A = this chain, B = another copy of it.
Amino acid sequence: MGLDDRKLAVLRAIVEDYVATQEPVGSKMLVERHQLGVSPATVRNDMAVLEEEGYIQQPHTSAGRVPTDRGYRLFVDRLSRVKPLTPAERRAIERFLVGAVDLDDVVHRTVRLLAQLTRQVAVVQYPSLARSSVRHLELVPISTTRLMLVMIADTGRVEQRLVELPGPIPPDDVIDLRQLVNERLVGTRLADTPPLVQALVDEVSGELRPAMVTLSTVLLETLVERHEERIALAGTANLTRGGLLDFQGSLRPILEALEEEVVLLKLIGEVEPSAMRVRIGDENEIDNLRATSVVSTGYGPGVTILGGLGVVGPTRMDYPSTIATVRAVARYVGDLLAQN
Contacts and interface: CB of A to CB of B under 8 A. Distances in A.
A148 interface: yes
Given A235-B259, A237-B255, A259-B237, A101 B138 contact: no
Contact of A148 (B140, B152, B162): B152
Interface in A155-170: 156, 158, 160-162
A136 interface: yes
A256 interface: yes
Contacts of A331: none
Interface string A241-280: 0001000011110011011000000000000000000000
| Chain A interface, DSSP helix/strand/loop, else mixed | mixed
A255 B234 contact: no
Contact of A236 (B138, B148, B236): B236
Given A101-B161, A158-B158, A152 B140 contact: yes
A142 B135 contact: yes
Interface residues of A, number: 34
A148 B160 contact: no
Contact of A251 (B140, B152, B240, B259): B240
Contacts of A102: 160-162
A130 interface: no
Contacts of A136: 140, 148
Contacts of A239: 255
Interface in A209-251: 221, 228, 234-237, 239-240, 244, 249-251
Contacts of A140: 135-136, 138, 152
26 contacts: A101-B162, A101-B221, A102-B161, A102-B162, A135-B140, A135-B142, A135-B148, A138-B140, A138-B150, A148-B152, A150-B150, A150-B152, A152-B160, A156-B162, A158-B158, A236-B236, A236-B258, A237-B251, A237-B252, A237-B255, A237-B256, A237-B259, A239-B255, A240-B250, A240-B252, A251-B251
Q: Which 10 A-B pairs have the closest CB atoms?
A: A237-B255, A237-B256, A240-B252, A136-B140, A158-B160, A236-B255, A138-B138, A240-B251, A237-B252, A102-B161
